[in-house]
Amino acid sequence: MEEHLMDPLLRAALTARLLADPTAHSLLDSWTAAHLEAPFGPAWDAAPPLADDWRTPPEYTPADWRYGQDNPVRLGLKTLPDSDTLGTLFGTDAPQRRSALGAAAVMARRHPYAWAAALAVTAPDRFDLRSHPTMRPDPLLGWGSALTLKPFAGGLGGLPLAYAVRDAALMGRWGVPSMPCATGGDTPIPAPVWTILDRFGYRPAFRRDPEF
């Protein structure tokens, strides 16, 4: 697991949103739009402190851009053109496009797991199971977990499931059939999910015995 993973995850999610809409009015608007459907709750409150600059897209280097051109699928693209081609394609919007694409190259190269997780959540059509690092069903990663992937557990995966399982882990409620959602109601946690988590050895991540 990448050290201090939460910061790269947040920066990657923001960057993925900018990649889809590089002309967004503000970085904060982009971040908010990317997570309107996320059921923030105890899992979010328990996240580690964030770096002050997580809303700032990372600056790229020529090496980052070359990586993107050599591995466009890792960025979630079919191809990454050179700077001159960008200018021809996008005209006055080219600088914003270049910044968003360069930031994506940085995240994909330096934080491959965080970038893969961000694409899986914010732009699932750009996520490639064969090209991106294998995501882990670690319950404590929340939306950075493989639990967010739709194919997980035979099609049970998604953001609500990832948050429900993380909340259950933080509260030590192993094996519960559902968890309250911060946006109202309960989120089911089907039995096959617990079977898979047990198989991967994540039962110890739940802090205490379930309270039935």
Tokens of 22: 């590089």
Would you state the pLDDT for residue 93?
87
Sequential pLDDT tens for the chain (212 residues):
455 677 788 788 888 888 888 876 665 565 555 454 444 444 444 444 555 666 677 889 999 999 999 999 999 999 999 888 988 888 888 888 999 999 999 999 999 999 998 888 888 888 998 899 989 999 988 888 999 888 887 888 888 898 899 889 988 999 999 998 877 789 999 999 999 999 999 999 897 654 43
Tokens of 13: 């999610």
Is 61 within 8 Å of 15 (Cβ atoms)? no
The enclosing H or E element of 180 equals strand 178-180
pTM assigned to the model? 0.80
Please identify which residue in the block is written with the tokens 């090209």: 131
3-state secondary structure of 178: strand
How far CA 145 is from CA of 123, 150, 152, in Å, comes to 15, 12, 10
For 180, phi and psi rounded to 5 degrees? -60, 140
Is 2 within 8 Å of 110 (Cβ atoms)? no
Is the torsion defined by CA of 106, 111, 112, 116 positive or negative? negative
